[in-house]
Structure 1
Amino acid sequence: MSEFSFTAEMIHWRGPAPFYFARLPEDVADRVRDMAKSVSCGWGVIPVEAVIGRVAFRTSLFPKEGGYLLPLKDAVRRKIDIPESGLLEISMVVGPA
């Protein structure tokens, strides 16, 4: 398992159903990509445990445009204080539970 800490901007994807994500910075995405084959659950998704503020949650990174997106479920967003700038401080451990 590998641990990462980074700042990421929250993205609102309006698609057919609205979703929120945080895009991993390029250097973090590069390191995750190097580990992908050994930790992927299939379809390119990568299991992670993330922490934003005091809220810890499990999810899977989605590959997107050569990088990765961290999904931010409604249940998580309701518990965290999202700054007006939309920048989130995130800690993340990559790998299966």
Structure 2
Amino acid sequence: MEFRFRGEIWYWRGPSPFHFVTVTADESAVSAELAPGVSYGWGMIPVLVRIGHSETTTSLWPKDGGYIVPLKKSLRESEGLELGDTVAVTLRLGG
């Protein structure tokens, strides 16, 4: 299954700092329904993420009843993305 949405890049400074985009509520709800069939544990869902011309594999992380998608440094650098940018995201569940 593939989703497209737009979201703002935000930064979490926790013990494992990372940049994320929050998955919209509708896409999070569908992802949660499909999670038991594709999750590999802890609610993580493997996905292929595409932003601009760049693609990479990662996993959706559950957060606050929805999901967030981490943006790898290599993807952010290749697309020239900065904190606060709004990006068009395409996700394919199951990687």
Change in CA separation of 1:19 and 1:85 when aligned onto 2, cut-off 3 Å: closer
1:4 aligns with 2:14: no
Q: Deviations over 1:1-52 (max 9, x none)?
A: x011110111111113421011000011001001010110111100000100
Q: Distance in 1 between matches of 2:83 and 2:61?
A: 25
Within a 5 Å distance, the mapping from 1:71-82 to structure 2 comes to: 71-82=70-81
Change in CA separation of 1:83 and 1:43 when aligned onto 2, cut-off 3 Å: closer
Letter in 2 for 1:80: E
Quote how far apart the aligned CAs of 1:73 are. Answer: 1.2
Can you give the 5+ residue segments of structure 1 that lack an aligned partner in the other structure? none
Counterpart in the other structure of 1:38? 37
Q: Distance in 1 between matches of 2:29 and 2:79?
A: 27
Q: TM-score, normalised by structure 1?
A: 0.90
Q: Distance in 2 between matches of 1:62 and 1:13?
A: 13
Q: Among the aligned pairs, what percent are the same residue? A: 38
Aligned positions, number: 95
Q: TM-score, normalised by structure 2?
A: 0.92
Q: Distance in 2 between matches of 1:4 and 1:21?
A: 16
Query: Bigger shift: 42-51 or 74-83?
Result: 74-83
Query: Bigger shift: 31-40 or 84-93?
Result: 84-93
